[in-house]
Structure 1
Amino acid sequence: MERTLLLVPSGSFYYFNSMQLPDVVVFPVFREVHGASEMVWKAMRKLRLAASSLFYTDWYKDLQSFSKIIVFDLTVWLDPALLRNINRHKNPDAKCYLYSWNIVRDKQVVLGHLAACRKYGFSYYSYDENDCKQYGFRFNTIMYDENLRLPERALTSDILFLGFLKDRKAKMLALHQIISDAGMKPEFVIVENGNQHEDLPFTIRHSYVNYADYLDMVSQSKAILDITQQGQNGFSMRVMESIFLNKKLVSTNMALLSANFYDPNNILVIDLQNPDEEALTVFLRSEFHPYSQETRHYYSVGSWINRFQQ
């Protein structure tokens, strides 16, 4: 029997802690540590010591039983010794993959990860085709749990944004105003650590919003706002949520216009610098067209796992 191990950075990583698939096991890399143990754990990670494995969760004891191992890139940022530790203790026939759903920001660190992949027998995959072309990664899409369902809630907003404000304050304020002026209700939830934004018409959260709470927000909104990073053409989790949770999507990602699932009734690509007020209003007031089962299955976690090939 073939078993797949998915290693994620934490137990609260999106929907993965509650996902159930046959012969697929999901683990956070590290167990929770506190006090003096936490100090030792941090020191081992900083020194890139193989002994960081002392703080792994139970996946490490069972490593020999897996035929496919998929490691999310954030886990390697947490533990530079992770790929080496896996290579030393895995089943010799196991196929190993590092998957990135972040665009390259720190080139030297990512090149270090790529070198470690080559040394320890991992194939490096990315969700962003631009990065794949530039750095020689292999491509795999982003994915979603096709069994996940939203709680039933009455709609309280027309469009939802959850994220960091960063340097987008003026643009987000303008977009919020356009939606409000059209007689619709935006719900912009900004996550900030210590910054004061009492003057903004946004909901401010000063701590992490867990995914279950976020999905509760999504259930109460007609559409989701997706603001991509400069240079990004990989599809974000917001795109997957739109497809699987039956929500309209307003996005700045131009690559969506050439996606095989693109439906102008469901997806509006905007220029945040100069949004089209009329197009936005018409879009948010029109009905959603459910995506095909074929599209949903293609972007499911199960199909995503099958696309990893040595």
Structure 2
Amino acid sequence: MTLGLSKKTEATAFVLDSPQSVIAECIRSRGYDVFDVLVLPPRLGRLRRAHMTRRLPLQRMWFHRNFRILEGTETVVIFDRPEMFAIARRLTATRPDVRVIIWLWNPLPADWRPPADLDSFEVVTFDPADAERFGFRSNSTFYFRELGSYASGERDHDLIFVGRDKGRRAFIEGVATALTHAGSRVALELVDDAGRGRLSYREVLERTGRSRGVLDVVQAGQRGLTLRSMEALFLDAKLLTNNPAVLAAPHFPHQNVLVLDGQQPEALLDFLREDPVVPSAAALEYYDFAAWLRRLTSG
């Protein structure tokens, strides 16, 4: 397989572990190539992760046999995954003239241990807390304007949360229960950390587009804006969050944000049922993929 320019026009390529996802499709629609360079034999996912993250010999066995970076590719962006540093090492060894950037769009675990050769990599994170902790460069979260088409004129529930437990179940269910008792209509799709029963992202978009508000619950210490905050912004919804950093985020319409701080359920419901402020053109431009990529590659 080839990684880089084929029929596309841009000199940046992207490595994702789900190259057929909605996000990957949106990136391709902007003129970029999106690939995965690894093979995943059935039922060997855990073995591959363990083998590659521990830097054991014979890691080449996990890469597509004939992958190469085409001439004309200047930058490869690797979206975070357990094998990201192993992928970066291989790409750099294959084409040392190509810039390789690791993009972290999830917070690192509290017990994360950086590889010994961390200084060899260009790492950029969405989370200012992780940037400060490890000396990474930071950038905003991004989204795609075209996904705003999922916003519906019919809003049949007040609040939605779709995501994994990650130790947040009690808090999320507490908010949902309190709002339900206050007369709110809440859509809660909380799956276990293995992802069993998870909705497709298109289903998430369809449901979020029919909600007046999005519930955003970040992990302790996290300050970066989540995908849910982007969904609220681009799908014209309010945002209930435990992340006060949203209020200081560039261009984000703070009138559409309520930071959870022990408010009565009736106050939350009143907030959700007020019409949201229309986001400014500056906000939609700043968080769009194109502006995010300019910031990412200009650093």
Q: Which letter maps to 1:184?
A: S
Choose which of 98, 102, 109 in structure 1 pairs with 2:106.
102
Query: Secondary structure of 1:291's partner?
Result: coil
Deviations 1:208-253 (A, max 9, x none): 3221111121122111100010000000001111111211111110
Choose which of 62, 68, 86 in structure 1 pairs with 2:69.
62
Q: Which letter maps to 2:75?
A: K
Q: Distance in 2 between matches of 1:57 and 1:290?
A: 46
Residue of structure 2 equivalent to 1:132: 131
Q: Distance in 2 between matches of 1:39 and 1:244?
A: 35
Query: Secondary structure of 2:279's partner?
Result: coil
Residue of structure 1 equivalent to 2:35: 27
The count of residues paired between Structure 1 and Structure 2 equals 289
Deviations 1:102-133 (A, max 9, x none): 22325553x21xx53533xx311111112212
Q: Which letter maps to 1:162?
A: V
Query: Secondary structure of 1:71's partner?
Result: strand
**Contact in 2 for aligned 1:142/1:299 (Cα 8 Å):** yes
Q: Distance in 2 between matches of 1:300 and 1:52?
A: 36
Residue of structure 1 equivalent to 2:18: 10
Choose which of 49, 52, 61 in structure 2 pairs with 1:45.
52
**Contact in 2 for aligned 1:98/1:124 (Cα 8 Å):** yes
Identity fraction in percent: 24
**Contact in 1 for aligned 2:124/2:138 (Cα 8 Å):** yes
Residue of structure 1 equivalent to 2:272: 284
| Unpaired runs of at least 5, structure 2 | 1-8
The answer on 1:118 being equivalent to 2:125 is no
Q: Which letter maps to 1:281?
A: L
Query: Secondary structure of 1:26's partner?
Result: strand
| TM-score computed with the length of structure 1 as normaliser | 0.80
Decide whether aligned partners of structure 1 residues 64 and 39 sit closer, same or farther in structure 2, where only a CA change above 3 A counts: farther
Q: Distance in 2 between matches of 1:166 and 1:40?
A: 22
Decide whether aligned partners of structure 1 residues 59 and 223 sit closer, same or farther in structure 2, where only a CA change above 3 A counts: farther
Query: Secondary structure of 1:147's partner?
Result: helix
Q: CA deviation at 1:289?
A: 1.7
Q: CA deviation at 1:99?
A: 1.4
Q: Distance in 2 between matches of 1:244 and 1:285?
A: 18
Residue of structure 2 equivalent to 1:242: 232
**Alpha carbon RMSD of aligned pairs, Å?**
3.0
Choose which of 82, 86, 91 in structure 2 pairs with 1:81.
86
